[in-house]
Structure 1
Amino acid sequence: MGESKLLGPESVRGANEAIAWIRARRIASQDRQKSYGDPKRSYIEFSVGDYVFLIVSPMKGVRRFKKKRKLNPRFVGLFEILERIGQVAYRLALQPALFGVHNVFHASMLRKYVSDSSHVLSYETLSL
């Protein structure tokens, strides 16, 4: 049928050199991509007791939060942070209506609530 070649030490050495070259190029490429992405990345930290909004993706909003409208909100509720779990996860105090939703979320899914008294509207009573 055919002859089988035995691998000699020079072919094994050549393969190992090729693998080392590929690894070095891959690491250089990863480092270059990381240097491009790091300046754009921001690390968000919250403390216990802060109030946050929860970012909702369109499909998850329909399934979990019962939001099914044409102009769907991007954020849901105003929730208090109960505790920090690990470096980037937080446990939220959810409303009883959201009993089917897990209460631990990644920091990228949260948006900090900044209290501002200017957004509160005062109204005057009208006498008819």
Structure 2
Amino acid sequence: MEEKVKLIRKRLEEANDRQKSYADVKLLEVVNPVAYRIALPPALAWLHDVFDVSYLKKYVSDFAHMIDWNSLQVQDPGVVMIEPISVLEVRKQRLRNTKVTQCNVQWDQYTKDNATWEDYNEIHQRFPHLFNVFNS
């Protein structure tokens, strides 16, 4: 029985070491087997620095993912203001017994692949100029 426990511990350590190599971040501390404390850049010092290992994944470098941090508008610490630049599509979506209108929004600093579906009424109220294409 004791040998099985040792074998399980060894395999857990090996798996833990493999997971460490997936993240290109500096690991400061293993808080517990599933939580790591990582080093963050000074600009993100306000962010909680302990992450569940399931959130840390291998990253493949892609220039499309690069964001110019200096151009971001920060309102309060932790609140980044990113403006929508276009509405790509509008759809009606059935959610349970209701139909809601949504729009696919491309955000500043992001590609079309990173567009998100947002509530049509909220986006239309805050950014009516984005809908000129659909109204003409």
Q: Normalized against structure 1, the TM-score is what? A: 0.29
- Give 1 or 2: higher strand fraction: 2
TM-score normalised by L of structure 2: 0.28
Highest CA radius of gyration, 1 or 2? 1
Q: Which structure is higher in RCO with an 8 Å CA cutoff and minimum separation 6?
A: 1
